[in-house]
Chain A
Amino acid sequence: MGRSSKDKRDIYYRLAKEEGWRARSAFKLLQLDEEFCLFKGVQRAVDLCAAPGSWSQVLSRKLKKDDEKGTDVKIVAVDLQAMAPLPGVTQIQGDITKLSTAHEIIRHFEGHPADLVVCDGAPDVTGLHDVDEYIQAQLLLAALNITTHVLKTGGTFVAKIFRGKDITLLYSQLKIFFPSVTCAKPRSSRNSSIEAFVVCQGYSPPEGYVPNMSNPLLDHSYDVDFNQLEGPNRVIVPFLACGDLSAYDSDMTYPLQLDPNKAYQYLPPTQPPISPPYQQACHLRKNNLLSKEGLTSSCADEPKPSTKPPTSLKVPVEEVPSHQKEDVEDAH
């Protein structure tokens, strides 16, 4: 498969490169905004699990544009790993489960709470759906926990979810903090992907709720009355498909030449992947240095871990677990 084959299969991947977005997920936030007007009146926004930074890019372009002077708008991006700097975005390299991170965000907002918190984070996956769904839920709850420290009453929280078997448990938890919870699917998110987004509006914590980070928020359990495992009563939030129908279809295979008057040209990704965990392993594999069994001892040479980072990395797409493809591709 040539380098253009991903361009053929994924129209938004191509458009992201053309428009200079760091990942195709930028379109998801743009389309969520089309439906929910997320950015209206927003002065202070937080992007949790921000790397590689495409949502921060969107926040920066949209909020700064709306606010002509651009002086009052503050955007904070939080991630464990460092990412390439973005104009108008303050980066915090920190852990969203730490109280200190929450304090740092508030400090950047000069003591004011945030109007909008977004989180497009996805965990490292194991390919076992139950484990992956659980860990994704924990990531969302960690994001929700820090959100309760930094979000203003009436504020909005947007986060990625996996619509799996226990999604109603997350819905019931979000409903405690937000009167309006919607499950939204932007048209740029593939139909085949279990990914969707919760748009939680009008933050209003229960009376007497004190934000607390000393213990993690644990997910809910099934309930015999209101949220049943196998019964008819389940907490299912309304669903809304976002984005104009005239927008490109993320599932459709488009020819490389979209515009008859403009020849297709391959563009390299805007942001190459930031040292992925498999970097060393790929380097060894590429140079045939992985340990092998063999009858002769010459075949079983021990690989010598190289300290030099490889110059280029190419990871075959087939290695990515199916439901996770989109997220990994995002990172590229």
Chain B
Amino acid sequence: METILLAGPVTALEFVGEDILLSGEGPYLTVNQLDSPACHVSRRVLARHHIHGIRLAPQQVLAPVKTELAVFGGKELQVLELRSYQEERSVLQDLSPLRELKDWIWDVCWLKHFLPNTSTCQGLLAVALAHNSVLLIDPVAGREIQEVHCEEKCILYSALFVGHEWDHLVLVSGTVFNQLILWRPGNCGLKNEEGRARAEKRIEGHHGVIFGLAYQSDCGFLASASDDRSVRLWKVGDLTVDETFWKPSIESCYQPMCLHILYGHQARVWAIRFLADKLLSIGEDGACLLWDCHHGKVLQKLEGHRGKGIRALAVRQALEGVHWVATGGADGGIRQWRIDREEKDHVEVETKDKWLIRLQFDGHGSPKIVRLADRGRQMLVMTDMGSIYSSILGAPGEVNSWQLLTEDPDFQSYSILELSSNLDMSGASHMQAEYCAVGSICGRVKVFSLSHPDVVEELKKAKGKIHNLCWGPCLDHSRMLFVSASDGQVYCWQVLDTLKNTPLKVFQCGILLLPSCRQRWLTGVRYLPERNMWVCGDRRGSVLLYNDMRNDAVLGTFEAISFLFGLHGKQGVTSVEVWDGQVYSSGRDGCFRILSVRDMPEGGPIFEVLRVLRLGPSMEWIERLLFQAPGLEWGKGPLVMGFHSTDFILWDFVAKETLLTVPCGGGHRSWTYSCSMASGSLVQDSFAYIKQGAVYMYHGTRFNPGSSHQAVTKAGLHGSKITCLCHLGCVAAAGEAVDILVTSSEDTTISVLSLQPSRGQISPLASLTDHISSVRALAKIHPGKTVPANQHPETLSSLFVSAGGRAELHSYRVTIGWDGRRKALTCQVVHLAMHRLDEHWDRKKNRHKTIKMDPETRYMCLAVVEAGDCKGDGVIVVAACSDGAVRAFSLQEEQRRLVLLWESFYHQRCVLCVAVFSQCWDTHCRQMFLCSGATDGNIAIWDISESATKEENEDSSAPQWLTPSLLVSAHQCGVNCLDVGETEVPGQYLVLSGSDDNSLHVCLVDISNRMAPLQLLRTFSVVSAHAAPITGARWLTPHFLVSASVDQRVVLWSVREASLSWQEACLSHVADVSSLEIWQKEDGDKTVLSVCGQGLQVLQLGSILQDISCLKS
């Protein structure tokens, strides 16, 4: 078995020079070349342990790079040489054989100077071990020179060497007893009567074990991070030089002083590093905090890793320019962060390139509306006196004089103002004018161009108050103005570009009618060119579709041809967008949705929601989606603007990180945002709002995510344990077969991933966030014979179901294709249907007679079978449930429905897994069987053929025919996995199960006689197949199977004469293995295995292939 790919927590990071970042993932060391991401090199350097640290030798040559590295993890230590020339792949060469020490390694230090009684000491290493001892070794010669024990021999959770000279070397130990112990293994250190080194200084204060340590010699700072979620900063002075620190006579009076107790993390703190006189800390909360050591304040919070926990931290301290920080997550992602070198205190409001200020305003009246125009260079303000002022923005906070554009008493106290964007539909910015429209309480609307505001066109007066004004750009560089008046009437006006100083060309087009409701006005509108239709959003939360009204000569009234009433809830739709042929809507329900227009066989086109995307607790109020800005395009997904608590937030949906936070006080009635390219790699943000009658403006620059040093060096997969992995199929991408996988996780998300075996790369295509609790199971619907397989090798369309906590079930269709123009895979996801038990119960009649369905029920496993011929496209989904039930659902893709068919509480215990198999007798008859395993070790086999014919009715209780045909007591306890394999004999099947009791069990069943009940022919098992719970077992052929266990072994077994025999095993580097998936490679007869848990590993089976082919022949 050969590893193709390993993705797991990044547990070590180190910068080498400017362009190389080393990372450790499992036992693999990766050289990430930052200037050319395609040429990364990855190699396994340890045997069975994960890399926990990388230490560079003090002597380094940086151009070209040539340096020695000590890489360690667990008990293993390896010394390598890294060579790298520009634009060439780096080379990693072993300098020593891999060493396994007798105890766990916490730190390694390269020593500089001679030992007195040895001839040489070049390349000696000091190694700190977990029982508080230090080992001096010569790694190349493979010799242990000396071992020094500290008198305090308790177990350590961390250790840090200070210094590079053996004599003066200091070890700071972080103990299980919440202490820091400072001692010296070298000759300067004191010894006790047994010859052990004295624990010379003890620093106490933490309330939990010590997870991380850091030392800064220039300032004499020592920092410690702990289980108590604090970082403590201690003043210790220079430990290696200053002997006064160590003098025992003054031990009692010289106790290191605690400068600061830094509480900032929401959970435990794992590691810390100094960056000049600042400190960085990373923790379980997924945040990296930059602290000011002098004042103990948080300067910056770096967030972006998925789920919980950053595991690795590296800093690149620059003498000039910017510093860089790299973080490695438990999600397997690596990110880089730019830390600006700022002379001024960062916390201050006004810095040279970042400020938030109240603008001087001396116009007539109190500002009510603010808008930014001309890429944020011009500001428009409308006051309660009906005046519109304009100002050109200059230097920080400076406003050139406010110029009065127009004033009208009719627009006093109530008015609406909206600017048209000068971006057209394709995103290109044209040298065309921006237009301004204002509306009044009595129905007046005026329009003028910002380039000549003196030419004002008044539209025909609308009926009643103007509720809102919306601009919609058209394809032909013209634009439509939508005037939302009373009674849900929206007057549409076409506004065309005109020559200077000539009257505006404005044409009335038609009237859109909004559905009847209380707050009946338009909040957003966009043109959908593919259909020649208009997409609208309204204050009631509905999303609507209208036919194009521009060529309507009679000025008729248009009703929506399709609408989804109240889609975004009562708080309303905040914006609609059309991008890349898809429709997006955002709302104050904390979601944005992707919609499409589908033609119905009868009754014309309708709107349907493809997906709902939730941002989670980070943003409750989404205001707008941004796909482009002048000179900027980020392609993959939108930036989301919104408000969270008292902040305005700009959030990158793809990179999952906050780009901008402005503490503006919260959601504002009038606010405006604009961004544009500033220079090279910088983007300029402008945000203005009105608060208590004053205009405030934020202005700042930030790093453009798309520029050369990518912020995301490697995308993360899941924030916590991956519970299930499913291979959907293959697509041809630029001539190469790319595997498409889907994974579910305890972090409540599902990821669609592409796996490129040739590059050893796995990248996320989409993240599905519909589940509200942990997702435990996935099942793919195998395409039946009706769908010709492999018709379009460049696209893959696949249907799957997911289930998890809170008794929640979702189903999706994903379509993956290859976009040759962009040279990227495209991924469209349609959320087809969902089912929740508590909702099901709420809908039931006579529900007072039954016990309420418990929403705490967890779905543990899923199996899917096509119902086949009887009911068209019906699919039966069976779920194993923690409340002791087996439940069957019917999934109808066309109707987008999941319906509960029946449930059986036969097991009376938590059902852990299910599997299905079916036997086709002829074209009209298919028999379906279900196997279910519970925590008591029993496996039940059921004939569920009649499910397909069961009428959907309210009564979901177990039907008469529903009793198991067979009950096999296979295991002592929990059946974790089931798989059914065919045999060479028609009608005979092998049911394979793996259990918590370490055993594998096989039963051979016979269903060949349709009239007779299912027969159990034989059973056989292996008792101690693994040393820990077996969580995955799959048939490869009737003669071979694979099993995977929490003991991290993947074992290949052969089946002969009713017995299993061990063939081959492989140590997996994924901890807490939760499932095993197998698939055949399309381009050959190779079998690929994948295990997932804390990460995922993909293996290719090699040697047995001949065996299999032998057996076949």
A8 to B838, CA, bound (A): 15
- Is A277 in contact with chain B by the CB < 8 A criterion? yes
**Knowing A191-B996, A296-B663 touch, does A253 contact B857 (C-beta < 8 A)?**
yes
Asked if B929 lies at the interface with its beta carbon under 8 angstroms from chain A, I say: no
The reply to whether the CB of A292 lies closer than 8 angstroms to some CB of chain B is: yes
Q: Does B368 contact A (CB under 8 A)?
A: no
Known: A124-B209, A285-B266. A163 touches B910 (CB 8 A): no
**A245-260 contact mask (Cβ, 8 Å, vs B): 1 or 0:** 1000101111101000
Asked if B102 and A165 make an inter-chain contact with CB atoms under 8 angstroms apart, the answer reads no
| Interface residue? B1094 (CB, 8 A) | yes
- List, in ascending order, chain A residues with CB within 8 A of B721's CB: 322
Asked if A194 is at the interface (CB within 8 A of a chain B CB), the reply is yes
Contact present for A124 and B858 (CB under 8 Å): no
A292 — which chain B residues lie within 8 A by C-beta?
264, 298, 301
Structural contact, A191 and B207, CB atoms closer than 8 A: no
A291/B262 in contact, CB under 8 A: yes
- The residues of B that contact A231 with a CB separation of less than 8 Å are 1065
Complexed CA–CA distance, A249 and B1028 (Å)? 20
Partner of B208 from the list A221, A249, A277 (CB cut-off 8 Å) is: A277
Residue of A236, A252, A254 touching B1024 (CB-CB under 8 A): A236
Q: Is B23 an interface residue (CB 8 A)?
A: no
Q: CB-CB < 8 A to A322: which residues of B?
A: 720-721, 746, 1072
Looking at the complex, which one of B131, B348, B1094 makes contact with A216 (CB distance below 8 Å)?
A: B131
1/0 contact trace for B389-423 toward A, CB 8 Å? 00000000000000000000000000000000000
A22 close to chain B: CB less than 8 A: no
User: Is B883's beta carbon under 8 Å from chain A?
Assistant: yes
Q: Are B1094 and A129 in contact (CB under 8 A)?
A: yes
Q: What residues of chain A lie closer than 8 Å to B856, measured between beta carbons?
A: 5, 8-9, 253
User: In whole angstroms, how far apart are the Cα atoms of A240 and B995 in the complex?
Assistant: 12
- Please name the residue on chain B nearest to A133 by beta carbon: B1071
Q: Give which listed residue, B155, B211, B976, B1066, contacts A126 with CB less than 8 A.
A: B211
* A197–chain B nearest beta-carbon distance, Å: 13
Contacts of B1028 in A (CB 8 A): 163-165, 167, 194
Q: Assess whether B155 is in contact with A138, with CB atoms less than 8 Å apart.
A: yes
* B11 A251 Cβ-Cβ under 8 A: no
CB under 8 Å from chain B, chain A span 118-156: 123-124, 126-131, 134-135, 138-139, 142
Interface check A234, CB cutoff 8 A: yes
Interface size (A, Cβ < 8 Å)? 79
Which A residues lie within 8 Å of B1066 (CB)?
230
Say whether B998 contacts A236, CB under 8 Å: yes
User: Residue A218 at the B interface, CB < 8 A?
Assistant: yes
B228–A281 CB distance below 8 A: yes
Q: Are A97 and B154 in contact (CB under 8 A)?
A: yes
Q: Are B227 and A278 in contact (CB under 8 A)?
A: yes
| Chain B hits for A222, CB < 8 A | 48
B1024 partner residues in chain A, CB cutoff 8 A: 236, 238-239
Closest residue to A251 on the B side, CB-wise? B910
A65-73, A106-114, A202-210, A300-308: which lies at the interface: A300-308
Q: Interface-forming stretch among B115-123, B521-529, B1041-1049?
A: B1041-1049
Contact check, B104 vs A134: say whether CB atoms are below 8 A apart.
Answer: yes
Contacting residues, chain A, for B973 (C-beta < 8 A):
185, 187, 191, 241
Report how far A293 CA is from B854 CA in the complex, Å.
42
Min Cβ gap A3→B in Å is 13
Q: Which residue of A lies closest to B1094 (CB)?
A: A129
* Chain A residue with Cβ nearest B309: A127
> Could you tell me which residues of chain B, from 937 to 993, have a CB within 8 Å of some CB in chain A?
937, 972-974, 976
B323 at the interface (CB under 8 A from A): no
Are A130 and B1071 touching (Cβ within 8 A)?
yes
Q: Which residues of A contact B73 (CB under 8 A)?
A: 130
A191 near B267: Cβ-Cβ < 8 Å: no
Please name all residues of chain B whose beta carbon is closer than 8 Å to the beta carbon of A171 when the two chains form the complex.
1027
Q: Enumerate chain B residues within 8 angstroms of A294, measured Cβ to Cβ.
A: 347, 663
A19 at the interface (CB under 8 A from B): no
**Which one of A8, A168, A230, A296 lies within 8 Å of B854 (CB-CB)?**
A8
How many B residues have CB within 8 A of the partner chain?
106
Say whether, besides A187-B973, A236-B998, A229 and B48 are in contact (CB < 8 Å).
Answer: yes
Nearest B residue to A228, CB-CB: B1065
Give chain A residues whose Cβ lies under 8 Å from the Cβ of B176.
Answer: 123-124
What separation, in Å, do the CA atoms of A240 and B996 have in the docked complex? 10
Mark contacts of A11-35 with chain B using CB atoms, 8 A cut-off: 1 yes-contact digit, 0 otherwise: 0000000000000000000000000
Chain A residue nearest in CB terms to B230: A281
Residue contact A279 to B103, C-beta cutoff 8 Å: no
Shortest CB-to-CB span from A86 to chain B, Å, is: 24
Residue A331 is within 8 A (CB to CB) of chain B in the complex: no
CA A191 – CA B972 in complex, angstroms? Answer: 12
Chain B hits for A251, CB < 8 A: 882, 909-910, 912, 935, 974
A277 touches B49 (CB 8 A): no
CB pair A128–B311 under 8 Å, yes or no, is: yes
Task: Give the chain A neighbours of B102 by CB distance below 8 A.
Answer: 218, 221
| Binary CB contact string for chain B from 258 to 270 against chain A (1 if under 8 A, 0 otherwise) | 0001111111101
Contact of A290 with B266 in the complex, beta carbons under 8 Å: yes
Shortest C-beta distance, B679 to chain A (Å), equals: 23
* Given contacts A130-B1071, A230-B1067, A255-B854, A293 and B300 within 8 Å (CB-CB): yes
Interfacial chain B residues near A278, Cβ < 8 Å: 208, 227-229, 268
Tell me the smallest distance from the CB of B379 to a CB of chain A, in Å.
20
B850-880: which have CB < 8 Å to A?
851, 854, 856-858
A134 and B300 CA atoms in complex are apart in Å by: 35
Which of A124, A139, A257, A289 counts the most chain B CB atoms within 10 A? A124
A93 in contact (CB, < 8 A): no
Which of A134, A277, A302 neighbours the largest number of chain B CB atoms within 10 Å of its CB? A277
B912/A280 in contact, CB under 8 A: no
Tell me which residues from 295 to 315 in chain A have a Cβ below 8 Å from any Cβ of chain B: 295-297, 299-300, 302-303, 305
Asked if A239 and B263 sit within 8 Å, CB to CB, the answer is no
Complex Cα distance A9/B807, Å? 13
Given contacts A165-B1071, A252-B883, contact A127 B284 (CB under 8 A): yes
Contacts of B291 in A (CB 8 A): 291
Given A134-B104, A165-B1048, does the pair A295, B663 have CB atoms closer than 8 Å?
A: yes
Judge if B62 is at the interface, Cβ distance under 8 Å.
no
Q: Mark B306-341, 1 if CB is under 8 A from A, else 0.
A: 000101000000000000000000100000000000
Asked if A215 lies at the interface with its beta carbon under 8 angstroms from chain B, I say yes
A58 within 8 A of B: no
Query: A147–B1026 Cα gap in the complex (Å)?
Result: 28
If the complex has contacts A138-B155, A241-B997, are A291 and B264 also in contact, measured as CB distance less than 8 A? yes
A85 within 8 A of B: no
Given contacts A239-B1023, A290-B265, 12 further A-B contacts (CB under 8 A): A128-B11, A135-B155, A142-B155, A252-B884, A252-B909, A253-B882, A278-B227, A278-B228, A280-B263, A291-B297, A293-B290, A295-B356
Closest CB pairs A-B (n = 4): A277-B208, A129-B1071, A281-B229, A163-B1028
A-B contacts, 18 listed (Cβ < 8 Å): A129-B1071, A163-B1028, A165-B1067, A167-B1027, A185-B997, A194-B1072, A238-B1023, A241-B973, A251-B882, A251-B910, A253-B910, A277-B227, A289-B263, A291-B262, A297-B349, A302-B297, A305-B263, A319-B284
Residues of A within 8 A of B (CB): 5, 8-9, 80, 95, 97, 123-124, 126-131, 134-135, 138-139, 142, 163-165, 167-168, 171, 183, 185, 187, 191, 194, 214-216, 218, 221-222, 229-232, 234, 236, 238-241, 245, 249, 251-255, 257, 275, 277-281, 284-285, 289-297, 299-300, 302-303, 305, 319, 322-323
Show the binding face of B for A, using Cβ within 8 Å.
Answer: 9, 11, 47-50, 52, 73-74, 100, 102-104, 130-131, 153-155, 157, 176-178, 194, 206-209, 211, 226-230, 261-268, 270, 284, 289-291, 295-301, 309, 311, 330, 347-349, 354, 356, 661-663, 720-721, 746, 851, 854, 856-858, 882-884, 909-910, 912, 935-937, 972-974, 976, 996-999, 1023-1024, 1026-1029, 1046-1049, 1062, 1065-1067, 1071-1072, 1094
